[in-house]
């Protein structure tokens, strides 16, 4: 099992997927959105390391509040820690927990589709955050 580099946990998230959720903010993002609320997640160093089991233990402690909710991984950019997020979601699905991936998609690599297929196989919901549809505006907005 790998470990994730985690910026922070939100134990009562209500805006990152359905219901009340444990939101895992991972450390590291290659985007530089002008409006970013969490620039301290940008650098890939820092944060704390946590295993999937440790995050599930945190979830279990407050499980009664998460009926109709689940676990969301946000960031930072979750696809920067693809292996870890896949392990976390696989463990969550085994425990019957709804999983949600909140990503900009910037690190999608079509030369390794099987890695993304593995993640999607254990992901119930994708929140794909398209920042701007115009390429020039997108570059200005996100760096």
Q: How far apart are CA 31 and CA 76, in angstroms?
A: 9
As a 3-state breakdown, the chain gives helix, strand, coil percent values, each rounded to 5, of 35, 25, 40
- The correct pick among 6, 20, 22, 29 for binding ligand SF4 (CB under 6 A) is 29
Among 13, 28, 76, 78, binds ligand SF4 (CB under 6 A): 76
Residue 81 binding ligand SF4, by CB under 6 A: no
Residues 94-113 that bind ligand SF4 (CB under 6 A): 104
Establish if 32 lies at the interface with ligand SF4 (CB under 6 A).
yes
Beta bridge partners of 50: 4
Out of 8, 38, 44, 58, the only residue in the binding site for ligand SF4 (CB under 6 A) is 38
User: 82-94 and 113-121 are packed helices; what angle lies between their axes, rounded to 10 degrees?
Assistant: 30
CA distance 95 to 89: 10
Q: What residues line the site for ligand SF4 (CB under 6 A)? A: 29, 31-33, 36, 38, 41, 75-77, 104
């Amino acid at each position: 099992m790998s470990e994730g580099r985690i910026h922070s946990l939100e134990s009562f998230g209500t805006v990152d997927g359905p219901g009340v959720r444990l939101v895992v903010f991972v450390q590291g993002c290659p985007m530089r959105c002008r409006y970013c609320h969490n620039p301290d997640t940008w650098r890939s160093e820092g944060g704390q390391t946590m295993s999937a089991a440790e995050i599930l233990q945190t979830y279990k402690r407050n499980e009664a509040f998460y009926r109709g909710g689940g676990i969301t991984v946000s960031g930072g950019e979750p696809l920067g820690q693809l292996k870890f997020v896949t392990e976390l979601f696989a463990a969550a699905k085994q425990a019957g927990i709804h999983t949600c991936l909140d990503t900009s998609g910037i690190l999608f690599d079509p030369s390794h589709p099987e890695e993304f297929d593995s993640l999607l196989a254990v992901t119930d919901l994708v929140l794909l955050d398209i920042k701007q549809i115009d390429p020039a505006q997108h570059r200005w907005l996100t760096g």
